[in-house]
């Protein structure tokens, strides 16, 4: 067998990077070996990856020098930022910049940067329909990633751009799933503004990233917007109803009401949903099931994901 090329994975203990690590490890005789990067190699999550067979190394996107060792000798690098850990778009941009430059210094031949779009290119900041956040953003956790694309293009190794859809795991971990309403039924409350929502099983993002690495040089410079299925609020409610065996109604929360919810980043999320609604078909075109399935033939649709995960969704 030819020597396996190393893919170094930032966020290896998380949802996106973890999916990529597992996908590479599952293909034992495949072209790639995997190096899991974490700030805490001795943590339970780091050790669990080592037990699965990954090389586990230290690396911190806040410490650019640490990335040199983490990326050394790697053929590929998967780069992702953890916006929700700090809620700072400026820090996210700094981390992305540090990773991009480190891929170049290490001579990495193929980078997959997990980005999102800079919404300000489609909806200028002076558009009165949504508030400006943190002084210069529509959707801070989108805009700073999109802004960093240019850094990967000009200062990073040869890069492919991956744009994920809304994780269906948000229904498990983010409190976004159906909740009891009046009269004993369940209510799925999301601010969709009447449009459909592209969604995806988080593990499929890493599998799609694996598919991009398999394409190699042909994928450099390409953007891959991925979704497992694109559904309306009513369609998601119907799928929940079938999986949970209880009546589920969809409630389209007004954007202003959602922005005022009492959790960190509610305004950012509210603007994200409003951007999706305002950008309409162009947004839907940017997240594509066909693209995702071509990269990852095991891609799950919502019904299949629900069949595997409904029991994990906290509803009462
Ligand atoms: N939720 C959604 O619906 C959705 C959809 C599209 C995109 N996204 C984006 O996905 C990103 C998060 O990805 P995820 O869900 O895969 O993350 P996650 O599951 O929350 O895990 C975060 C990962 O980032 C690593 N990490 C955090 N800070 C780091 C640093 N300074 N240096 C190196 N590694 C660091 C953590 O590793 P250690 O703790 O082990 O160091 C961990 O593996 C966010 O930026 C979000 O905007 C989310």
Cα 103 to ligand 1 centroid, rounded to whole Å? 18
From residue 270, alpha-carbon distances to 40, 163, 201, 266 in Å are: 33, 19, 21, 6
| Cβ–Cβ < 8 Å for 273, 253 | no
Residue whose CA is closest, atom 19 of ligand 1?
A: 14
The yes-or-no verdict on residue 184 having pLDDT over 90 is no
Q: Could you give the CA distance from residue 26 to residue 236 in angstroms, rounded to a whole number? A: 31
Whether residue 167 has its Cβ less than 6 Å from ligand 1: yes
Predicted confidence band of residue 243 (pLDDT cuts 50, 70, 90): very high
Flag whether pLDDT at 183 surpasses 90.
no
Task: Taking residues 83-91, report their average pLDDT.
Answer: 98
Mean pLDDT of 84-92: 98
**Is the CB–ligand 1 distance for residue 170 below 6 Å?**
yes
- Please give the average per-residue pLDDT across 164-179, as a whole number: 96
Average pLDDT of 88-110? Answer: 98
Q: Is the pLDDT of residue 1 over 70?
A: no
Question: Residue 21 and residue 27: Cα distance in Å, rounded?
Answer: 10
Distance CA 47, CA 124 (A): 45
Residues 13-37, mean pLDDT to the nearest whole number: 97
60 lines ligand 1 (CB under 6 A): yes
The DSSP output letter for 16 is H
Weakest mean pLDDT among 171-185, 214-228, 254-268: 171-185
pLDDT value of residue 182: 86
Give alpha helix (H) positions in the chain.
15-26, 44-52, 64-71, 83-86, 89-106, 140-155, 170-173, 202-215, 233-244, 255-259, 266-279, 281-285, 289-295, 302-309
Mean pLDDT of 110-117: 98
Average of pLDDT values for 217-239? 98
User: For all residues of the chain together, what is the average pLDDT?
Assistant: 97
Residues 6+ positions from 95 with CB-CB distance below 8 Å = 61, 62, 81
3 state DSSP class of 188 = strand
Binning pLDDT at 50, 70 and 90, where does residue 316 land?
A: confident
């Amino acid at each position: 067998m030819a020597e396996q090329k190393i893919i170094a994975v930032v966020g290896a203990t998380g949802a996106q990077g973890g999916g990529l690590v597992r996908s590479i490890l599952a293909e034992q005789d495949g072209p790639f070996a995997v190096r899991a990067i974490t700030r805490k190699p001795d943590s339970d999550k780091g050790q669990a990856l080592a037990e699965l067979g990954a090389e586990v190394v230290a690396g911190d996107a806040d410490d650019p020098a640490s990335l040199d060792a983490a990326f050394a000798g790697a053929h590929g690098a998967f780069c992702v930022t953890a916006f929700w850990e700090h809620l700072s778009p400026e820090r996210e941009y700094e981390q992305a910049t540090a990773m991009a430059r480190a891929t170049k210094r290490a001579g990495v031949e193929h980078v997959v940067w997990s980005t999102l779009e800079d919404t300000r290119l489609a909806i200028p900041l002076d558009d009165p329909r949504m508030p400006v956040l943190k002084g210069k953003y529509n959707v801070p956790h989108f805009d700073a990633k999109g802004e960093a694309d240019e850094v990967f293009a000009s200062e990073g190794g040869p890069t492919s751009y991956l744009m994920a859809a809304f994780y269906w795991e948000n229904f498990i971990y983010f409190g976004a799933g159906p909740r009891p309403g009046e009269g004993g039924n369940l209510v799925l409350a999301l601010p969709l503004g009447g449009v459909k929502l592209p969604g995806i099983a988080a593990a499929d993002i890493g599998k799609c990233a694996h598919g991009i690495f398999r394409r190699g040089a042909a994928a450099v410079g390409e953007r891959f917007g991925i979704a497992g299925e694109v559904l309306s609020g009513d369609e998601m409610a119907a799928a929940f109803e079938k999986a949970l065996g209880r009546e589920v109604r969809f409630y389209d929360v007004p954007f202003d009401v959602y922005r005022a919810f009492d959790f960190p980043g509610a305004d950012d999320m509210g603007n994200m949903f409003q951007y999706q609604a305002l950008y309409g078909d162009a947004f839907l075109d940017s997240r594509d099931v066909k693209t995702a399935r071509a990269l990852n033939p095991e891609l799950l649709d919502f019904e299949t994901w629900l069949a595997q995960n409904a029991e994990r969704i906290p509803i009462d």
